[in-house]
Amino acid sequence: MTDALIEAVAQGLHMVDLGRQLKVGMPQSPNHPQFWHTLPRRHGDSMRADGGSAANDMISTGTHVGTHIDALAHVSQDGKLFGGADAGSACLGGKYVEHGVHTIKPMVCRGVLLDVPTYLGVADLEGGYEITAEDIAGTINTQHTPVGPGDVVLIRSGWGKKFAEGAAYVGGPSGVPGIGEGAATWLAAQHIHAAGADTIAFERLAPGGGHAHLPAHRVFLVENGIYIIEALDLEELASRRLYEFIFVLVPLNIFGATGSPVRPLALVSA
Amino acid sequence: MTDALIEAVAQGLHMVDLGRQLKVGMPQSPNHPQFWHTLPRRHGDSMRADGGSAANDMISTGTHVGTHIDALAHVSQDGKLFGGADAGSACLGGKYVEHGVHTIKPMVCRGVLLDVPTYLGVADLEGGYEITAEDIAGTINTQHTPVGPGDVVLIRSGWGKKFAEGAAYVGGPSGVPGIGEGAATWLAAQHIHAAGADTIAFERLAPGGGHAHLPAHRVFLVENGIYIIEALDLEELASRRLYEFIFVLVPLNIFGATGSPVRPLALVSA
Amino acid sequence: MTDALIEAVAQGLHMVDLGRQLKVGMPQSPNHPQFWHTLPRRHGDSMRADGGSAANDMISTGTHVGTHIDALAHVSQDGKLFGGADAGSACLGGKYVEHGVHTIKPMVCRGVLLDVPTYLGVADLEGGYEITAEDIAGTINTQHTPVGPGDVVLIRSGWGKKFAEGAAYVGGPSGVPGIGEGAATWLAAQHIHAAGADTIAFERLAPGGGHAHLPAHRVFLVENGIYIIEALDLEELASRRLYEFIFVLVPLNIFGATGSPVRPLALVSA
Amino acid sequence: MTDALIEAVAQGLHMVDLGRQLKVGMPQSPNHPQFWHTLPRRHGDSMRADGGSAANDMISTGTHVGTHIDALAHVSQDGKLFGGADAGSACLGGKYVEHGVHTIKPMVCRGVLLDVPTYLGVADLEGGYEITAEDIAGTINTQHTPVGPGDVVLIRSGWGKKFAEGAAYVGGPSGVPGIGEGAATWLAAQHIHAAGADTIAFERLAPGGGHAHLPAHRVFLVENGIYIIEALDLEELASRRLYEFIFVLVPLNIFGATGSPVRPLALVSA
């Protein structure tokens, strides 16, 4: 008995890692508990009678740090979560039982990269640039990569190159490029499953505007039940012009949480 | 241009989740920092001027909790890591730079379930039972599932059913079933890529013996560079007699850590 | 100009430390995040150009661990905190602004030890023993240590000797000795400022009863605004028959928290 | 039998709180894990059958945050701790057993405030200003507050007023005022017990210089075994011209840690 998937994998895969390394000091939003890792026990601290030794770790962190996914429970509008659930009573015993990150199924599905700066003929988008519905549609047409129901759409702005710079990546005075309400509404109408970007807040931030206004989060998480993935590394996909791939994302199954750090992959046959 | 992987996925997948849910109070080894999750900000705590609100999380945890993978840096023998690196000096600036979990590539490869109790004709293995090389070879032959270079081998003992009971899963007085040095040596000789089990310590623990003696960890992590995956949920795979599949495991890319919580998947065509 | 306090201290003090050491693995209630301490940076991890180096710490913990104080915000009854505040709305933005631990003033005041087992002529009280109002009054009379408004009253059961044993200290099947509703009501009528004990839950726990019923917490924290101090080490005070002293307790000033680890002192002139 | 201390306290005390409130988002050194506090369980999350409910906390933090004390184990010079202990081997099993914060005895002793800007006739010292031995001696003489063996000396720069501003308090481009090697050597020669300041790094930081050079830490912690207290609030003491007092500091008894958050008090008779 043959299995198409097993055979396809056996022929060889090319894998692109879309996740950022989790490292103490990496840029992250100050709204979330800082990522920290430390070694409580190192080799040399103690040794068993047989000469064996085990080192271990302690992590303290928010879930919206590094490359991460937003559960639907992350955002509410006028006191409501997706589907109209009351945002206050949705929290049972200190856990978001209904729309927590444990309700997101692992994703192994079609993924599409939308390389907006390449479409627009620029190296990277500027801080504060709003990617419009026309930019999205134009990129899709030029790339010949239609997007449809169940797809995961990754929107490249080029801003990801700043991750290594630290504070510049977060935006602040410069703002951050990204989609606005128009492009979000257009994408939601295609019934995509999730959308991601190479920035920390996924959507356009006005220069100096901070997180006061996040309409794409409302459109996706609250109005349409579409997951959001942030702080992706999309540079290798873009440089290889890999616009269509199998997208793999496995959130940690944290009961009742609003998000999870993730390490998404793009896969194609070798 | 067609892509075998994209086509195989497009035909439909069946996915089995092999990871345990991360939940406050779940059983874990007392050697590692306890898993905790809490919501610093809930909906209702504050609302933006536009009626939007975001809830978030704080996690404190070890990495060897829930379903998790051991990096090679986790274990040393006589002061040496895999490849002979000095275990003391391998820790640079508080990070295991060489064999840390960030060096484990995401796995998308052939996986094989070895359902040992079914082979032995019992419902589940008893605490303290040592799975021998003969048990492993017999299971492989009976299942017609050879294992070879690059495969990930998941060894079912049936002990995973106790996860919901809490303390009983950890073992203690009862011991825990698992492979011993003989089976580990036999499997290492097949050049497998990683091995997993449905128990907290992967290998056999003698009744009342605790973690004093862990020869399979030495054979795999220190002598052969084979990763170990612990606390898997293998019950659904066994009940469906799904012995061969594509195994997907994506460790968090935590710089310098000795392990990572993971949520592995088994995939086949639908 | 002379100052009576400065002169008294200059003459010499005798200090008794009433706090338990905070150590990974110490007994604590499973209801609270476990105490963990680790060193992210050790000497040797990095050195400045001038030969200097600094090591540091990471702590993850609940606040009701080790020797600690309960803020009034810790406990509610029928949805109300002390003074009738609504327990739900008292939490503003994820902080107990009104009755949080930051509202407890540091204590430097008269303290009285009530050595109940010595009064009763036994070495230690048994698990589940309820210290009655009569026991309290009898101990006070026998010791000649009246208690009144503003005093801090420390009630010894002898159970503190079990701290080093670990799980036995927490109680469980044995129960834990301590005051019940009667003694709490009697003490509250004396208008004391705070009460402490050498046990983990302050009050009597029935054998096998767990924390299902905590009337003394209600009487003190909710009905009378009297602070509770738990897991004190009262053995040295008792062995020295030091029944009256200056009690010093300085909670961490954690904004909006329900408690704080503390290290109380008993001081007398040398 | 009368006790001078009990009588002095009975006559009434005036207490000045020298500690900063621990609050998420307060300024702290980026070298240390960020202070976070959250409520895992709030009132309303669950209620016992009898109508009672308990809320609790989770804290994740470094120890060198907020107002804190440095243990001698915090700093080494050329691989040595105070007393010549080897800084590497002083860490046993992941704990600084010899010079950890658990070895600091609670302090109830004479304290002296040195109000340097008032002596110099300025409102506050400028960023980068080095307080010299002459400044210290001049302040002592003008205030008529000699310092000697066993005293705790608190050095006011006025910089503490910036605590509420956040990043400005940390220094960075501006530098921070404080003592240099000369003043540290002069104070160490008086055999003081501990020294504190109203800044985050205790000693002078050059504008833009960061923490590259910390000679006063070396003089105090490594060469003389004198503890350092940082981020004190000295404004009320100065405005009341309270230059002599009983200083109370009780570090958390954290086994093997390099420091502890503290909330020191200054006490005088009322």
Whether D228 contacts D70, CB under 8 Å: yes
Mean pLDDT, chain A, whole residue set: 96
D52 falls within a domain: no
Tell me which residue of C198, C199, C187 sits closest to C137, measured CA to CA: C187
Q: With 60 as the cut, is the pLDDT of residue D41 above it?
A: yes
Tokens of D85: 């202990």
C56 falls within a domain: no
The pLDDT tens digits of the residues spanning B199-227 come to 999 999 999 888 888 999 999 999 999 99
* Contact B121/C at CB under 8 A: no
**Helix or strand holding residue B245 (H, E):** strand B244-249
Contact at CB, C33 and B93, closer than 8 angstroms: no
Query: How many domains is chain D built from?
Result: 1
Q: With 60 as the cut, is the pLDDT of residue A33 above it?
A: yes
DSSP B210-242: TTS--HHHIIIIIII--EEEES---HHHHHTT-
Q: With 90 as the cut, is the pLDDT of residue D259 above it?
A: yes
Contact at CB, D93 and A42, closer than 8 angstroms: no
DSSP A98-117: TTSGGGSPPEEEEEEEEEHH
Q: In what order do the strands lie in the sheet with D68-70?
A: D13-17, D265-269, D244-249, D107-115, D152-156, D194-197, D227-230, D68-70, D259-261
Q: With 70 as the cut, is the pLDDT of residue B134 above it?
A: yes
Which chain D residue lies closest to A61 (C-alpha atoms)?
Answer: D60
Tokens of D75: 């700093």
Q: With 80 as the cut, is the pLDDT of residue C5 above it?
A: yes
D56 falls within a domain: no
CATH code at position B237: 3.50.30.50
Tell me which residue of B170, B181, B165 sits closest to B211, measured CA to CA: B170
Is the ipTM higher than 0.85? The answer is yes
Q: What is the mean pLDDT of residues D38-67?
A: 96
For B5, the closest of A212, A217, A267 (CB atoms) is: A267
Q: What is the mean pLDDT of residues B130-136?
A: 98
Q: Which amino acid belongs to residue C215?
A: P
The pLDDT tens digits of the residues spanning A4-22 come to 999 999 999 999 999 999 9
pTM for the model? 0.96
Give the CA angle between residues C24, C25, C26 to the nearest 5°: 100
* Contact C56/A at CB under 8 A: no
Helix, strand, or coil (residue C259) = strand
DSSP H helices, D2-132, are 4-10, 116-120
Which chain D residue lies closest to C99 (C-alpha atoms)?
Answer: D55
Residue-level pLDDT at C175: 95
Distance to chain D for A25, nearest Cα, Å:
8
Which chain D residue lies closest to C244 (C-alpha atoms)?
Answer: D6
Helix, strand, or coil (residue C28) = coil
- pLDDT band of residue A2 (cuts 50, 70, 90) is confident
Residue-level pLDDT at A211: 82
The pLDDT tens digits of the residues spanning D70-111 come to 999 999 999 999 999 999 988 999 999 999 999 999 999 999
Contact at CB, D108 and C251, closer than 8 angstroms: no
* Contact A94/C at CB under 8 A: no
Spatial separation of the C-alpha atoms in residues C98 and C254, rounded to whole Å: 13
Sign of CA dihedral A64, A68, A72, A76: positive
D29 falls within a domain: no
The 10 Å Cβ neighbour count of residue C105 is 12
DSSP B2-46: --HHHHHHHT-EEEEE-PPPB-TT----TTSPPPEEEEEE-TTS-
Residue matched to tokens 């210089």: D209
C28 falls within a domain: no
Q: Range of D170's domain? A: 3-21+66-269
A162 falls within a domain: yes
Q: Which residues lie across from A247 on neighbouring strands?
A: A109, A266
Residue-level pLDDT at A1: 54
A207 falls within a domain: yes
Please, how many CA atoms are within 13 Å of residue C80, restricted to the half-sphere of its CB?
11
- pLDDT band of residue C1 (cuts 50, 70, 90) is low
D59 falls within a domain: no
Query: For residue C105, which phi and psi values (nearest 5 degrees)?
Result: -75, 145
Write the DSSP symbol of residue C236. Answer: H
Tell me which residue of A107, A112, A151 sits closest to A245, measured CA to CA: A112
